[in-house]
Amino acid sequence: MKIQINHSTQYFYESEVKKSVQLLRVTPQTLAHQKVLMWQLSLPRYSAEVFDGFGNYCTVLNMNEPHSMLNIQAQGIVEIDDISECNTDNRIRPEIFLNSTRLTECNEAIRDFAHRHTGGQGNRSTLGRLAHAILEYMPYTIGSTDVLTTAGEAFERRQGVCQDHTHVFITAARELGVPTRYVSGYLYTKDDHQLTSHAWAEACLNGHWFVFDVSNQLFQPSQHVQLAVGLDYNDAAPIRGMRQGGGTERMEYLVQVSEVPQ
């Protein structure tokens, strides 16, 4: 299946920004389950391209001149294997993804929840039950959290969005001894062609990475286009940066994901 993606992000600033640096992870790579047929970025100026420590393709946008807005456009076509059960990815040792972070620090409540729903066993079946239990315990609720919300905080509130579901699942799976990573990207669905950027978890079992999309209860990469991976949101965020000046910031974004007609 071929997927057409259009991703537009615009930043508007209250006052003029003197200079800014943005790290963009909005370019997918060809992997075992996806093939990039075409991709292009439209940016206000030429920027550097690098790979980060997780093997993600990054574009560094360095704006040294004053500006009052920033326009970032990404678009392309990616072909995904819609029958694949898992993702083979040997760019980095899986054991790295056993490490916790501030956003994925385990607490007693999540630890008890993980063991109660898996019996302390970390395999595909038990992790599937865990993913179902998390969504049931903390339903998808838009606006209930932000990018600074930790897994523990979201779990305590019993609500969250895909980022929170992913953080809680990652935290619980790592507690069971399963290397688990945060994945950012896009999701194609037939029901809704306008989405924000999506996030899900992937757990490494017997050398293969299996999808655990808690928010949508999807467990294979047949509808997912991967952008970046990391220990948590901070490592895989599509856009992160810093600026000097500008005052209050307002962001507008639009993501369109649709199937390319055969």
- For residue 10, give the CATH number of its domain: 2.60.40.2250
CA–CA gap between residue 37 and residue 129 (Å, rounded): 35
55 and 184 in a single domain? The answer is no
Report which residue type is found at 56.
N
Would residue 89 count as lying in a domain? no
CA–CA gap between residue 166 and residue 131 (Å, rounded): 9
CA–CA gap between residue 85 and residue 16 (Å, rounded): 49
181 and 244 in a single domain? The answer is no
- Block mean pLDDT (10 aa), the chain, length 262: 94 94 96 94 91 96 93 96 83 95 98 97 97 98 93 97 97 98 93 71 95 95 94 96 92 90 82
158 and 226 in a single domain? The answer is yes
40 and 118 in a single domain? The answer is no
119 and 57 in a single domain? The answer is no
Would residue 15 count as lying in a domain? yes
Q: What is the pLDDT of residue 192?
A: 57
What pTM did the predictor assign?
A: 0.94
Burial 108-137 (b: 16+ CB within 10 A, else e): eebeebbeebbeeebeeebbeebbebbbee
| DSSP line for 148-167 | T--HHHHHHHT-B-HHHHHH
149 and 254 in a single domain? The answer is no
Number of domain units in the chain = 2
72 and 185 in a single domain? The answer is no
117 and 231 in a single domain? The answer is yes
Phi, psi of 111 (to 5 degrees): -60, -45
151 and 228 in a single domain? The answer is yes
Helix axes 108-118, 162-175, angle to 10 degrees: 80
49 and 137 in a single domain? The answer is no
Q: Which domain holds residue 180?
A: 94-236
Would residue 223 count as lying in a domain? yes
Residue 199: Cβ within 10 Å count? 26
